[in-house]
Amino acid sequence: MAEEATKTTEAPAAPVRKKSKKRRLTEANVYINATYNNTIVSVADTNGDVVCWASSGGCGFRGTRKATPYAASVAAETAMGKAQSFGVEKVHITVKGIGSGRDQALRAVSGTGVSIESIKDVTAVPHNGCRPRKARRV
């Protein structure tokens, strides 16, 4: 009985994971979401699975500097740099929102050297639905 007490029970070893092969994409969808406070750029494959993304806040901009066109262009360049490591050559761009960085983000994507196949604007526009918020008085 004394021997049983001295034996230590070892935890079962974790299963060994195989390193997944890096995906190769030639065509991708780029989603630019430009709000008043931030700009988020997501790159997805043709099925809609997000491959990589970047935002103005994630690129080191804080506060009101996040909402600038320059911050949006840096976010777009960062996202496209990550996407080009997957082999992306052609992109379909979808723009949403009315932030100040939407045009600059488009220019940054075109400046990275990828071929832009289409640009689509999917900004939500109310057709006299909900009542808007009261106006801010500053």
Within 13 A of 9's CA, how many CA atoms are on the CB side? 4
Q: Count how many domains the chain has.
A: 1
User: For residue 97, is it within any domain?
Assistant: yes
Residue 105 lies in a domain: yes
Q: Answer whether residue 137 is part of any domain.
A: no
pLDDT tens digits, one per residue of 8-52: 667 677 787 776 667 788 899 999 999 999 999 999 999 999 999
Q: Give the CATH number of the domain where residue 59 resides.
A: 3.30.420.80
* Structural domain contains residue 127: no
Model confidence, pTM: 0.77
Residue 33 lies in a domain: yes
Mean pLDDT of 95-100: 93
Give the pair of three-digit tokens for residue 50. Answer: 């997000």
* pLDDT, position 24: 84
Give yes or no for residue 61 having a pLDDT over 70.
Answer: yes
Structural domain of residue 94, as residue ranges? 27-121
pLDDT attached to residue 5: 59
